[in-house]
Chain A
């Protein structure tokens, strides 16, 4: 409930649109109610007048009720049309606002603060959640508001004729709009939970079937898999059957309730008419009005259903928004130092919520233009070092100085403008090749783009595209091969003339045959920069390269490769292993 209140608060900038949408929705419902109720009253009155003789006929003002009927009909049409437009306008504005504010919250969290405990699809789910919450007004707020206000107004109209009729109508509407949906939800809770679990399990099996098809076939396990999916499918149908039964009872119940309410009007009104307390035509008004009134609560069962999912989405989004920002940002940066040497002393880094140190007392100095290889197994602290340098993670102890300036006094964006990172996780964006290059250097001219492509050995490929630089790369670069995507990220790096270059497993998952060319391109980009290469293999390390070996957040070896090779440590062991494999 608290999440929903927070959610509603997010919507305050759009309150005029929301109020307009609700007002028009209310007008739509009330116009229908007015049209039918007045029509009933009108023909009944006309019938009574017609039997009462000539004098009464002359005394009866035909035109006012006839105009009223037409008025309600027109209001109904106009309110319905404009209401839908306003609803959607409001929804789109809300969605745009939600997306912007969410993104503004995510930006300081990325990437360390977004590392999901629930695995990689955290962000994809977040996007789906935001899209769902965009409908919160259209599918939840508006139906409830219109139903509540509409029911009250209609009950009040009835109450002017008979208080009992008003109360009975309100009771009928509340039962049909709130009571029945809540009962349906309670009854459907278990089967719908089961259905979700079954679908999740079936999705896993289906993805297995498609992606593991070769293995399933050659192990002759395909028939068993088909049986398994079929059984899950049948179980799902059984749960859906139970849900359909509940939905059927709900629909039948609502119909029955609406009819019973109308019958109650006959009983209440009929007694009053016979006793002379109510004019005959008012009975027609009550009967037809009661029938029309239930339109107001018709969308509520669906709204209740949506509300459940909305709560979960809101909870997930707020859970992320409320996370602590991993790195505190200073408002301004000191002037950029002249000589950019890097000096870490006694640095310890721990991620929020973790007990162990990811970096546990690092001492490391780098002169401008120096090339350094950081070697270690996964989990040794290599990536934490990158996060530290790029201010994606905060260090708690020790000092990191860049040209004598403490790192935490520099604004993240200013600091990152000194670094270029090449890693396999670089995102390629849907759009053209040009769009993807300009992200690195928005003002770059075409000539510069081509030069970067040349360095990345991608110029030939781009030249072969009929659209050249404007060729589209598909969603997340889906139209590019793995190697092409990596080269594109390399071209981006070539466009950025930064003093520091970090290569995070730059050739990971590249075909061994394309690796050679990639390394040559990297070497060209590295000229004149301070380069930190992160790797877990000896490939591409020259004898004179300075190698720093990480283990469990500490530096265990540091020196030229040739020296470490015979020092009897990790490098010696790895080098022996490599020789042994070559001799196999």
Chain B
């Protein structure tokens, strides 16, 4: 599972495989340099202690040692760079691919409850791959390679020490697997508990006013202490097991050094062996365990990276359902016909059940119905955000929507969603979204028709005022009007508009209804309506209920029928400020 993810990750970045191989090769070369360094060091120390050599006598070895120091520093530096480059190329290409794919999946996939998670995956999830790719993966290869090289260097000098390492070395990974699996399970449980505990604290802090209103805020202080204590007890019980992994590593590493030293000591006293090989081996024994230690430090990076990678590949493995063609829609006014149109988000759970309806060129149609009746799904199907499960949508003289080029189709329409989005940037940037080359004059004209120009002109920076998350706050009504200004600027033959349900103040609401009526003129307009004032002035109303069109006609005609529409309006009229 993890291996498969590794392969996909590495394959995602151009040159990533080469970069990682280079990092491993450089790390291995550093390991060889380390062995050479130990060899020279042992020779120098042996010379000074046993052969009464002066520093001048060992000058050659000392210079060699200095050269090795520099080589090792350079290798370590180069390995770091190579690994980072590999990780960067993976991150760069994955982020682009993922964002591209999300746009292909469309807004019905990136729905509300997923949106925060998706944005986090695109940024933090992909960043979390770096330590895994740049550190854990190369280290993983070195864990096998460097100790083997060290073992090969030791074996000709002393088979007893080599045997100690051969026994102790593989036991550690075994032990890690044995404890590790349990520790990982414990870890995951703790992770969840930690989340629960953090969530509770966040909850308590964010709800501090609510708790205070109910006179419960002071009790909460004790509760936070109790929950934290409980968490600490459970977690510490788990950590006592989890930390055995590192204790095992430490145990075998220390034991090996002690065993090697004591056994050498015994043999040296009896003159069974000379000092040089003993010291050389002793220098290498701690290094034998070094890569394993490195692996343990990056273990957490691995867990979070794999979790992020799974989320990333989950998205990438989801196929876009909407089909598109290459045809360009005919010029001029747009008419739309839906034939036996059914839409379902999950198999067998239709939200639209065989809709037949027409939106003649230049007409103004309102879609009404309870929430969940399928209004938004009908709009989404016409926009091409969801694929029909059955039936089809015909544009103009019978061009099926799925034969059209998607950009060409969107080019012919303006869409205003219920909660329009302001994008980070200036007001002008937000307007030019609708028409990239629009000049100031055109933007001011659109703002004027949306009745927003007066407000913008009072701002010191005017059209260049920064808005969105980082900038100036606009009121709910102003956001609506800016979205309408965008639609005015685009001036497309088809308008699809989802009316805001948020209660604005009465003046704003009245103005918006007028502006929408203005915007709908001289084009085919489909409005998902929530206001009585809006539906009164449309050519025709489609009443949706449980995915079907149950009534259609003008406001007066529908009222006279005393059907679903009349019932709907009845409740609205009694309670709403419209």
Contacts and interface: CB of A to CB of B under 8 A. Distances in A.
The answer to whether A and B interact is yes
Given A107-B212, A110-B217, A512-B576, A213 B110 contact: yes
Given A80-B247, A260-B69, A538-B577, 17 more contacts: A47-B268, A48-B49, A62-B265, A77-B254, A81-B246, A218-B383, A218-B415, A220-B411, A248-B77, A252-B77, A255-B76, A266-B48, A274-B48, A513-B371, A513-B571, A519-B575, A581-B509
A270 B420 CA distance: 77
Contacts of A536: 505
A247 B134 CA distance: 13
Interface stretch (A89-97, A153-161, A361-369, A556-564): A89-97
B383 A416 contact: no
A245 B58 CA distance: 35
A508 B421 CA distance: 20
The residue in B55, B217, B246, B505 that gathers the most chain A C-beta atoms within 10 A of its C-beta is B217
Given A92-B236, A283-B48, A107 B208 contact: yes
B258 A69 contact: yes
Contacts of A12: none
Interface in A297-356: none
Contacts of A57: 269-270
B91 A81 contact: no
Interface string B245-269: 0110011001101101110111011
A455 B240 CA distance: 51
B119 A206 contact: yes
Given A273-B49, A509-B503, A581-B509, A539 B575 contact: yes
Interface string A63-79: 00110011011101100
A183 interface: no
B354 to A, nearest CB: 25
Given A241-B85, A256-B69, A270-B48, A213 B106 contact: yes
Nearest to B69: A259
Interface in B489-531: 490, 501-503, 505-507, 509-510, 513, 530
A437 to B, nearest CB: 11
B123 A204 contact: no
A130 to B, nearest CB: 8
Interface stretch (B148-156, B199-207, B345-353, B358-366): B199-207
A104 interface: yes
B286 interface: yes
A193 interface: no
Contacts of B99: 206, 209, 225-226, 229
Contact of A47 (B239, B278, B414): B278
Contacts of B433: 215-216, 219, 221
A77 B206 contact: no
A444 to B, nearest CB: 12
Interface string A49-68: 11100000100101001100
19 contacts: A35-B257, A42-B265, A66-B266, A80-B247, A84-B246, A85-B243, A95-B228, A110-B208, A210-B110, A220-B407, A248-B77, A256-B72, A266-B45, A271-B55, A288-B282, A421-B213, A439-B216, A512-B578, A577-B510
A452 B325 CA distance: 56
Contacts of B224: 96, 99-100, 103
Nearest to A536: B505
A516 interface: yes
Interface in A394-444: 412-413, 416-417, 419-421, 425-427, 429-430, 439-440, 442
Given A131-B198, A538-B577, A217 B269 contact: no
B485 to A, nearest CB: 13
Nearest to A215: B421
Main secondary structure of the interface of A (DSSP, over half): helix
B96 interface: yes
A79 to B, nearest CB: 9
B577 A539 contact: yes
B115 A476 contact: no
B89 to A, nearest CB: 8
Interface stretch (A121-129, A184-192, A460-468): A121-129
Interface residues of A, number: 158
Contacts of A88: 235-236, 239
A248 B423 contact: no
Contact of A427 (B134, B207, B414, B571): B207
Contact of B236 (A89, A256, A390, A577): A89
A377 B508 CA distance: 12
A266 B62 contact: yes
B282 A40 contact: yes
Interface stretch (B174-182, B444-452, B455-463, B532-540): B532-540
Contacts of A32: 254
A44 B247 CA distance: 29
Nearest to A47: B275
Contacts of B65: 259, 263
Interface string A370-400: 0000000100000000000010100000000
Contacts of A202: 123
B76 A251 contact: yes
Interface in B38-78: 41, 44-45, 48-50, 52-55, 58, 62, 65-66, 69-70, 72-74, 76-78
Contacts of A167: none
Nearest to A208: B423
B202 A206 contact: no
B1 interface: no
Contacts of B411: 220
Given A252-B74, A259-B69, A35 B215 contact: no
Nearest to B537: A584
B209 A110 contact: yes
Nearest to B105: A213
B218 interface: yes
Contacts of B207: 427, 429
A20 interface: no
Contacts of B206: 123-124, 427, 476
A202 B126 CA distance: 13
Contact of B468 (A65, A204, A392): A204
B221 A100 contact: yes
B411 to A, nearest CB: 6
B205 A123 contact: yes
Contact of B55 (A66, A220, A274, A519): A274
Interface stretch (A168-176, A230-238, A525-533, A546-554): A230-238
Contacts of A222: 103
B157 interface: no
A207 B48 contact: no
B184 interface: no
A511 interface: yes
B464 interface: no
A513 B122 CA distance: 38
B390 interface: no
Interface string A494-517: 001000000000011101110110
A417 B536 contact: no
A537 B578 contact: no
A9 interface: no
A516 B571 CA distance: 7
A580 B505 contact: no
B211 interface: yes
Given A214-B107, A439-B216, A429 B205 contact: no
The residue in B246, B410, B503, B578 that gathers the most chain A C-beta atoms within 10 A of its C-beta is B503
Nearest to A258: B69
